[in-house]
Structure 1
Amino acid sequence: MLACGSFNPITNMHLCMFELARDHLEDTGRYIVVKGIISPFGDSYKKTGLIEACHQLEMRWLATENSDWITVDDWESQQPIILIFTRHHHAELISSENNNDEDTVRCGKRRKLEQNKNICPKLYLLTGISLYTRKIALKLKHRKVIEQVGDRYVVKTLSTIRNYTFSFRVNEEFQEFTKGLDDRHCKSLVAWEGNKLVCIQKGEKKNRGWAHWIEDDKLHLELHCEDQVCKQVFKRVV
């Protein structure tokens, strides 16, 4: 997927546009989206209020650095005149396919997983997340990275729009602020129950928490708050 424009400046909704478009195309069962390219205009466009290309590019690279499929291509911004740029990107893609000998397998104690089921809308409503945020969240495909550093676990939930990271030690209660989710303070305690990592969260909402477990090379996540339960399944990717 290719998007051109001034992106002056780039915003979360520019990135959300890619996520929504990818989900729509892949839900048809006819397409597999392999890459998203942001191709911004340069100084030659002479748009009123357009920030210098060098500063704009830096912002766009920062905005996409956590994405594993959306990239920024500065070719168009470096051209002295506005050109038909689709031919350039088509040639680049063909070239990369013919020369793709890079080993993309990652090793170590790091597990990267991509969600393949949507989030329960009732749970988002119950936890007090805004309608605007809920609509976006229901369309996104989340990625989850779990790392073990010594006796501490680090859990990252990633998307193009918003990331959430927290860390914990098993059987050790800690203060958690769900910043960017429902922005609540709670006391969390994570413990092993058989093959499941189970978290109990004490705070404003009752019966709140989650459980993680691996089954058939998939990561299962069950979240609960009061009388609502949400289940997500992530598949492992490399």
Structure 2
Amino acid sequence: MPADYNGVWKMILNENFEEYLKALDVNVAVRKIATLLKPDKDIAHNGNHFIIKTISAFRIITCHFLCPRLQTTISWDDDKLVCVQRGEKQNRGWTHWIDGDELHLVRALHLHPICMRYVACMQNTYSV
């Protein structure tokens, strides 16, 4: 049975995020601003349906998907939620998993981990 991702998660650590953005060819000004942000994650998870909101001071990005997803490959690997994206940068993606009360996020490019983000659970109340 996959882990329960429901809840509001607050970022506690963001390692190598600027290097990840640089690998994606994001310009230096945007990289500098982005590394200063500490977005929260609001995740509603019900079975294979997910709604993930990334909330920062500048905007809210909402992603709705079913797991598995066909356009971008999102699948379960035990308790880990794994995404491989296709587009300008091939084999870009991320992996989410829960360890205790922390939500971990690894961002990868060409299937090599570049950036780690650690997020602490603030509340666990949602269901989709």
Task: Report if the CA contact (8 A) 1:122-1:228 is conserved.
Answer: no
Shift of 1:130: 2.2
Residue pairs, 1:117-156, within 5 angstroms: 117-119=13-15, 120-149=17-46, 151-156=48-53
Shift of 1:172: 2.5
SS of equivalent residue, structure 2 residue 51: strand
Matched, 1:192 2:76: yes
1:96 corresponds to? none
Task: Report if the CA contact (8 A) 2:74-2:82 is conserved.
Answer: yes
Which structure has the bigger radius of gyration?
1
Structure-2 separation of matches of 1:204 and 1:137: 20
Task: Report if the CA contact (8 A) 1:116-1:234 is conserved.
Answer: yes
Task: Report if the CA contact (8 A) 2:42-2:52 is conserved.
Answer: yes
Question: What amino acid maps onto 2:118 in structure 1?
Answer: V
Structure-2 separation of matches of 1:163 and 1:130: 21
2:7 pairs with 70, 91, 111, which one?
A: 111
Shift of 1:225: 1.1
Structure-2 separation of matches of 1:230 and 1:209: 11
Matched, 1:172 2:57: no
Task: Report if the CA contact (8 A) 1:190-1:199 is conserved.
Answer: yes
Structure-1 separation of matches of 2:33 and 2:7: 25
Shift of 1:189: 1.4
1:69 corresponds to? none
Unaligned runs of 5+ in 2: 124-128
Q: TM-score, normalised by structure 1?
A: 0.46
1:233 pairs with 94, 118, 125, which one?
A: 118
2:59 corresponds to? 162
2:98 corresponds to? 214
Higher strand proportion (structure 1 or 2): 2
Q: What is the count of residue pairs matched by the alignment?
A: 117
Q: TM-score, normalised by structure 2?
A: 0.82
Task: Report if the CA contact (8 A) 1:155-1:167 is conserved.
Answer: yes
What is the CA RMSD across the aligned residues, in angstroms? Answer: 1.8
Larger relative contact order (CA 8 Å, sep ≥ 6)? 2
